[in-house]
């Protein structure tokens, strides 16, 4: 299949002379007959990377707790839609819906979870018990196929995989990276930008790239946000991803940009190898996401790190309760390591969480600000534990996690 996508990219370049990097990335990731996301199952032990739901089920469980509060704040609508864009293998859905059964029954009865993903294959949400599975639907789609949503639209590590244009400042001029062929090999060249929207985006942010610096511009984010704002009648948009505000993202500290590739859990940073077989990502510009959101009626209700978000929702309390469950040392340590991986400074804990609301109350959310009200609820909830669906981090598959997690820095 990867050979097919390479052939298609070569054919397109021969026909057009050159293509933008965004066109290359779109085909490499999403071309139906061989793009990475169209044929691969990229997450998990046999994939190329793992995401927060795979580290520990407490991620999905605590997200379910946050969704419960959103349901309360929206006056307990029925149905309460959770639309996950880029649902992947369905693990976040599986863990969130599973944990909802421990929350008040009216919330579970109101819940409807829609998994959207480019791939047609069912995910692990298909393994839910019948009662839970009846709350879930999956559609092979990259756009949102419904309107009038009252609830929450979620994306977890989705926007970083949107095709990006790459630009570079040379001689005081903004130039764009194009992909062409030389002696049968993919090669880059710099030319005038393919669209004025690239310079307009940077001007709007008040950004002038330093001489010689490269950067990525995610234009695909704007139509996606427009569509999401249109689909959401009343409720929340929850975006979880790795990225920064614009002043950090477009700075000399990242003079070569943030484009990253992953192949079999190894960071290669060469998009032209393993085409169709590796992930290609770039950090998200959260400043643009917030600014565009305001124009579309989406009010920013919270912007913080994933670590702080999960701590506010009670992950440390869950970790503390591991010692009261009568677990063996290995099981206890495995669960503690998985939880710590979600909030670890410098790694997943540094991912960003942006909560935006449309026609929703301004009341603070539990994930944004710790609440005494939540403390009482957590006491009544079980501690979610690792299953065979989650990553065995303690077994040494990921050496960077084999550290003294008893002494982690505070967040």
Write the DSSP string, 268-315. ---TTSSTTTSEEE--EEHHHHHHHHHHTT-EEEEEEEHHHHHHHHTH
Q: What is the mean pLDDT of residues 205-221?
A: 95
**Ramachandran region, residue 276 (left: φ > 0; alpha: ψ -120 to 50; beta: rest):** left
Distance CA 287, CA 308 (A): 19
CA angle 11, 14, 15 (to 5 degrees): 85
Give φ, ψ of 163 to 5 degrees: -60, 135
Question: Can you give the pLDDT at residue 194?
Answer: 98
Give burial (CB, 10 Å; 0-12/13-18/19+) of 71.
buried
Residue in 314, 340, 312, 379 with CA at minimum distance from that of residue 56: 340
List domains and CATH numbers for the chain.
2-397 (3.40.50.12710)
Closest Cα to residue 48, out of 344, 307, 274, 339? Answer: 274
Give me the mean pLDDT over the 196-203 stretch: 97
**Least confident residue range of 123-127, 230-234, 398-402:** 398-402
pTM score of the predicted model: 0.93
Summarised one tens digit per residue, pLDDT across range 215-270 is 999 999 999 999 999 999 999 999 999 999 999 999 988 999 999 998 876 887 89
pLDDT (mean) for 321-347: 96
pLDDT interval class at 143 (50, 70, 90): confident
User: pLDDT of 160-187, one tens digit each?
Assistant: 999 999 999 999 999 999 999 999 999 9
HSE of 345 in the Cβ direction (CA atoms, 13 Å)? 6
Q: Please determine, for residue 113, whether its predicted confidence score (pLDDT) is greater than 80.
A: yes
Q: Considering the chain, what percentage of its residues have pLDDT values greater than 70?
A: 92
| Statement: residue 352 has pLDDT above 60 | yes
Q: Which of 105-119, 132-146, 147-161 has the lowest mean pLDDT?
A: 132-146
On average, the pLDDT of the chain sits at 91
pLDDT band (50, 70, 90) for residue 402: very low
Q: Could you give the angle at the alpha carbon of 179 between the alpha carbons of 39 and 37, nearest 5°?
A: 15
- Residues 233 and 227 sit within 8 Å (Cβ to Cβ): no
Non-local CB neighbours of 68 within 8 Å, separated by 6+ positions: 100, 103, 104, 107
- Residue 403 pLDDT greater than 60, yes or no: no
How crowded is residue 17: how many other Cβ atoms within 10 Å of its Cβ?
10
User: Secondary structure of the chain: what % helix, strand, coil (to 5)?
Assistant: 40, 25, 35
Q: Residue 296: its pLDDT value, please?
A: 97
Q: Which of 355, 353, 323 is nearest to 339 (CA)?
A: 323
């Amino acid at each position: 299949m990867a050979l097919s996508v390479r052939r298609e990219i070569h054919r397109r370049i021969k026909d057009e002379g050159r293509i933008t990097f965004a066109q290359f990335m779109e085909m490499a990731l999403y071309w139906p007959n061989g793009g990475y996301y169209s044929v691969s199952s990229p997450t998990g032990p046999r994939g190329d990377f793992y995401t927060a739901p795979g580290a520990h089920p407490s991620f999905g469980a605590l997200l379910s707790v946050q969704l419960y509060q959103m349901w309360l704040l929206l006056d307990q609508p029925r149905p309460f839609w959770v639309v996950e864009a880029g649902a992947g293998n369905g693990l976040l859905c599986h863990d969130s819906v599973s944990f909802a059964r421990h929350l008040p029954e009216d919330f579970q009865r109101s819940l409807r979870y829609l998994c959207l993903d480019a791939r047609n294959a069912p995910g692990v949400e298909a393994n839910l018990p019948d009662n839970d599975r009846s709350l879930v639907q999956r559609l092979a789609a990259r756009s949102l196929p419904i309107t009038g949503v009252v609830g929450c639209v979620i994306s977890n590590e989705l926007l970083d995989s949107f095709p990006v244009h790459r630009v570079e400042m040379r001689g005081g001029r903004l130039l764009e990276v194009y992909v062409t062929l030389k002696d049968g090999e993919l090669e880059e060249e710099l030319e005038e930008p393919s669209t004025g929207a690239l310079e307009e985006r940077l001007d709007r942010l008040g950004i002038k790239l330093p001489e010689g610096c490269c950067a990525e511009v995610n234009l695909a984010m704007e139509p996606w946000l427009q569509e999401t704002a249109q689909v959401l009648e009343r409720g929340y948009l929850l975006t979880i991803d790795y990225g920064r505000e614009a002043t950090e993202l477009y700075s000399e500290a990242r003079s070569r940009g943030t484009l990253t590739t992953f192949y079999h859990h190894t960071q290669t940073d060469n998009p032209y190898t393993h085409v169709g077989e590796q992930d290609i990502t770039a950090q998200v510009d959260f400043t643009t996401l917030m600014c565009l959101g305001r124009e579309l009626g989406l009010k920013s209700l919270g912007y913080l790190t994933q670590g702080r978000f999960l701590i506010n929702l009670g992950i440390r309390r869950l970790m503390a309760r591991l010692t009261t469950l009568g677990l063996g040392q290995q099981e206890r340590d495995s669960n503690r390591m998985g939880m710590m991986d979600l909030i670890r400074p410098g790694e997943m804990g540094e991912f960003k969480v942006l909560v935006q609301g449309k026609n929703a109350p301004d009341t603070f959310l539990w994930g944004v600000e710790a609440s005494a009200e939540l403390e009482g609820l957590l006491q009544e909830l079980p501690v979610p534990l690792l299953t065979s669906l989650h990553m065995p981090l303690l077994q040494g598959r990921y050496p960077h996690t084999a550290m003294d997690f008893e002494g982690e820095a505070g967040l």
